[in-house]
Amino acid sequence: MNLNRRSFLVAGSAFALGGCLSRGRRRPPQDPAVVAEIEDEIAKGYFTCCCAGTVGGAVYTIGDRRPGLGAPVPADEDSLFEIASVSKTFCALVCARLWDAGLLDLDAPFTKYLPDHVLAKEKCDITVRDLGAHCSGFSNGWMGQAGIYNPTWPYRDQASYEAAVLSARPVCARRTDYIYACHNMILLGFIVERLTGLDLDAAARKYVWKPLGLKATTWQNCPNNPDTVRIYTKGWCPLGTKGDENARNSTRPVGNAGVFTSVKELLVYADDLLSRRTFSKAVYDLMFTREFSLDGYGRTFGWDQTPGNAPPGWSAATITHHGYTGQYVAIDPEKRQAAVVLTNLMSSKSEIRSPAYRARRLLAAQMARPTTI
């Protein structure tokens, strides 16, 4: 799809939503440099649809949500994207709710809740909090310059999936390095299951989505939902299936990825994190308080708080999370603003330090910028 400047500014639907989205209006990006960057780095084949919005503003949608499956179907505010690693924030919030209820000790060794983990037979000092801040020492099968590879990642065989997770060892001591790893959130998801007796979908619905009023958000595949967006990860995924390999290969929801939701419901979620109206103060403080810092990286429990990953001009308190298939959420508690950008394509040019990722950050900043209409 080609997206020229005029079509970006006027194509698709633009409308004010109820509830948290009705307090103001925003225009789509007007800065020519931002528009040009979005055109150059995203629109030239990096997505077929995009939904972007800001708390207190409008939602703007562009493109076809079901490429290759017949006549184009326009994206809209209710389009369900598989949000890849942004799912991790929901896993973290479920854990925060269990902690607030006194059911989970964040500073206990995680093996207290997973006694069948290989480290439970040894002296393990990796805490639940370490998992949430990605400073546990676990990896996605590698350890950067050390060149250490863990062959249990990814877990390609469902029969050995859980055994592989529970037998994997960290590649460095806790809190000596920052290694962003899906493994951490998969372990947290297992802990949620053990504590609640529920799978992650049911647990998230009970502890997070129902209290927030999120009715469409799900951790299950949704091939028959007419709002589902087709996701691309090194090839088009079957409609309604998860783009993440590990989430797709598991027969139950796992903590690192796999949630389907819309820009509309993500903005309700973001608005609640800003307004702090549903859960306890301790839960919100946990989401916004930095747990670990190293070499410029900052992590809270479940969120990125690295200043360079926030939209330009946002405060250092901003928390963000990106998803492998082109999702981006940013929440700034100091400037009282939040924005969501969802796309449906992954390419080598869409990852966190790429021009396309920078364009999503700029789009988020532009969506949250108030204008006079």
Instruction: Choose between 250 and 273: higher pLDDT.
Output: 273
Q: 143 pLDDT exceeds 50?
A: no
> Quick one: which of 219, 202, 264, 211 has its CA closest to 13?
264
Q: Which residues of 58-77 are buried (b: 16+ CB within 10 A; e: fewer)?
A: bbbbbbbbbbeeeeebebbb
Would you state the pLDDT for residue 31? 57
Instruction: Choose between 192 and 45: higher pLDDT.
Output: 192
Average pLDDT on 192-199 reads 98
Would you state the pLDDT for residue 272? 98
Domains and CATH numbers, the chain: 78-347 (3.40.710.10)
Average pLDDT of every residue of the chain: 82
Q: How confident is the model at residue 111 (pLDDT cuts 50, 70, 90)?
A: very high
Would you state the pLDDT for residue 16? 23
Contact 200/193 with Cβ under 8 angstroms? yes
Could you report the per-residue pLDDT of 200-234, keeping only the tens digit for each? Answer: 999 999 999 999 999 999 999 999 999 999 998 87
Instruction: Choose between 112 and 22: higher pLDDT.
Output: 112
Would you state the pLDDT for residue 9? 26
Would you state the pLDDT for residue 1? 30
Q: 145 pLDDT exceeds 50?
A: no
Distances (CA, A) of 160 to 102, 153, 167, 169: 32, 11, 10, 16
Residues in contact with 38: Cβ distance below 8 Å, sequence separation at least 6, in sequence order = 3, 8, 29, 359, 362, 363
| Overall pTM surpassing 0.85 (yes/no) | yes
Average pLDDT on 309-327 reads 92
Would you state the pLDDT for residue 50? 84
